[in-house]
Chain A
């Protein structure tokens, strides 16, 4: 089962390395990882996507929580959080197929951010599932290059009191 874990860390040297090292050492697999600043100066948010059983997820949370630079660990439960990801995608597109491709992209609200003689680069923000869908539709045209940021998430107002996983049993 997949879980999204949001980790608030002090913006100190090595903070990300400590988390990554610990997760690798304990044999957990990360599907995606995104890091960026938050509303608080000196505090970053690391959003982790992991595929594991409940028991392993609890272990990951507890072990992350023990790290000295970590301020908070929260699971973003499905339905209780808004999750988004950014995709940049360069697709082969000769002039005759370009219109068809752009109209497909419009359906996803993807924006054209660069045009080349035989390619188009799109930008799309959405749920990771929407990004997957767009990626699959673009695939037959020939994907030249693709990058994704990894998902970030934020708790919904309705779930603001989202269980704080301060690892206290």
Chain B
């Protein structure tokens, strides 16, 4: 069928089953927006900043398991997408970004709104295409979606000059991709499964260290099967949060810098560490050379380059995790059936440690404690289909510690890149993916101010979200580091809790604002917000001196965690 390149882009999105795209128009992408005006089945959500559009597409992808689509114009439109692209790269979120480019005749001339976005994003995409022939659009779009979602998920970029969008082609969408160099692993080596199962079954102190790859690889059920047949304790990373039910008896918390003490003890004293779609990030391991010193490492991953990148794997298993973990579960079950016992004493020991080192914080005093807000939020949402998103910082770590996640794709956060401002747009995207779910963004006041404009999108596009603002008037995590590691010299971290007036700001954006200053106000405010079905900002004024514990100081061994010290228990 004859059509122009812009229509071909939309027909390609439709052929891929795309339901929603997030974007902002501008000069070089105008032909494609004109094609939208002619008609498409793809819903377009108009963001207020391209960074917002990108994070929305990420939130959509993480909540749905489908590929997120963001669209922007050339130059600044495209560069504003760089942060979401980099974020999606580190957190392996499948994303197709479509950018307009200046006309082919102007490329290389420093034209208005020209920038080499393919060059700029090269280190943070799986692949990218600058389309210079309109006839290539269908094949490039097909390849873009294929690359984004196969193998280790991640972002791709399709850059389309304006004249290519306007040129005519005879459109037909290909059924297969022609990518001879893209062959992600599709099966698992049986010998490696056998070796892994032998070692895991015989382990006395095993730990499953479950990361975000488990969710991307749709391997959560398989991990549960493996844990249950093997009697194996499970620890999930920030990115893996929700991959395993957090109320399950075999769930033993979160590792790393602000993970729970019992979890870090478990990780660091285990004899067999089974990494499933996790990558030994420095925020998990602390000082790498001191991490899990006695452990035999079994590493399962779709990406061969993650194997032995940081920690040497004793038994590597490369392949799709759903398949690999299911086969491993079957093999471990056979060992159990043959009489090799589950590590019950170890699980019992971990239960003792969990009881010995609970999460603690100071209570009483005049200030509302942020942890109290999280605890109340947890109580009110337990068992419901609630998607949490977060920004980055203290509030994110408290959210990890206190909000128990039962299902995959219900906790969406910026893990690897640590992008402040991720929470609000990601929540809008998640709501677009799953309108029936309640979407709550736990945000900090610093993060809020980076992307708050997307509240407008939430209101006007009927994608209501609740923002639980942990407002301490500071860039809290930086303040905590200054307090702990820079002799308390607070350098440029004070934001002021009262300016802006978040209640008025929420109202100005068309939402509802609720101010919470005391413990007693927390529950009624949350109940009201949950009942409203509108976009709500709950401004919780919390203790500005509260630190997030436990904590592994940067560069220290994970086992040397700093815990909350109750002043009342201090020896005089």
Chain A interface (Cβ within 8 Å of chain B)? 9-10, 13-14, 17-18, 21-22, 25, 55, 58-59, 62-63, 65-71, 167-169
Contacts of B307 in A (CB 8 A): 62, 169
Which chain A residue shows the least CB distance to B123?
A25
Known contacts A167-B305, A168-B304; 7 further A-B pairs (Cβ under 8 A): A10-B180, A14-B122, A17-B119, A68-B179, A69-B181, A168-B185, A169-B318
Chain B interface (Cβ within 8 Å of chain A)? 118-119, 122-123, 126-128, 130, 147, 151, 179-182, 185, 189, 192, 303-305, 307-309, 313, 316, 318
State the CA gap A9–B179 with chains docked (Å): 12
Given the interface pairs A13-B130, A169-B192, A169-B316, the reply to whether A21 lies near B182 with Cβ below 8 Å is: no
- Could you write out 30 A-B pairs with CB less than 8 Å apart? A9-B181, A10-B181, A17-B122, A21-B122, A25-B123, A55-B308, A59-B305, A62-B305, A63-B305, A65-B304, A65-B305, A66-B126, A66-B151, A66-B303, A66-B305, A67-B127, A67-B181, A68-B127, A68-B179, A68-B181, A69-B181, A70-B181, A71-B181, A168-B304, A168-B318, A169-B189, A169-B304, A169-B307, A169-B313, A169-B318
Closest beta carbon of chain B to A141's beta carbon, Å = 43
Which chain B residue shows the least CB distance to A13?
B130
Select the residue from A21, A70, A167 with max chain B CB neighbours within 10 A. A167
State the CA gap A66–B318 with chains docked (Å): 14
Contacts of A59 in B (CB 8 A): 305, 309
Closest beta carbon of chain A to B59's beta carbon, Å = 26
Closest beta carbon of chain A to B117's beta carbon, Å = 12
State the CA gap A21–B185 with chains docked (Å): 24
Contacts of B127 in A (CB 8 A): 67-69
State the CA gap A163–B147 with chains docked (Å): 27
- Does A167 contact B181, Cβ atoms closer than 8 Å? no
State the CA gap A66–B308 with chains docked (Å): 16
- Select one of B123, B130, B309 contacting A21, CB under 8 A: B123
Contacts of A66 in B (CB 8 A): 126, 151, 303-305
- Does B118 contact A14, Cβ atoms closer than 8 Å? yes
Contacts of B318 in A (CB 8 A): 168-169
Contacts of B185 in A (CB 8 A): 168
Contacts of A69 in B (CB 8 A): 127, 181
- Does B180 contact A62, Cβ atoms closer than 8 Å? no
State the CA gap A70–B179 with chains docked (Å): 10
Which chain A residue shows the least CB distance to B319?
A168
Which chain A residue shows the least CB distance to B318?
A169
Contacts of A67 in B (CB 8 A): 127, 181
Given the interface pairs A17-B119, A168-B304, the reply to whether A68 lies near B309 with Cβ below 8 Å is: no
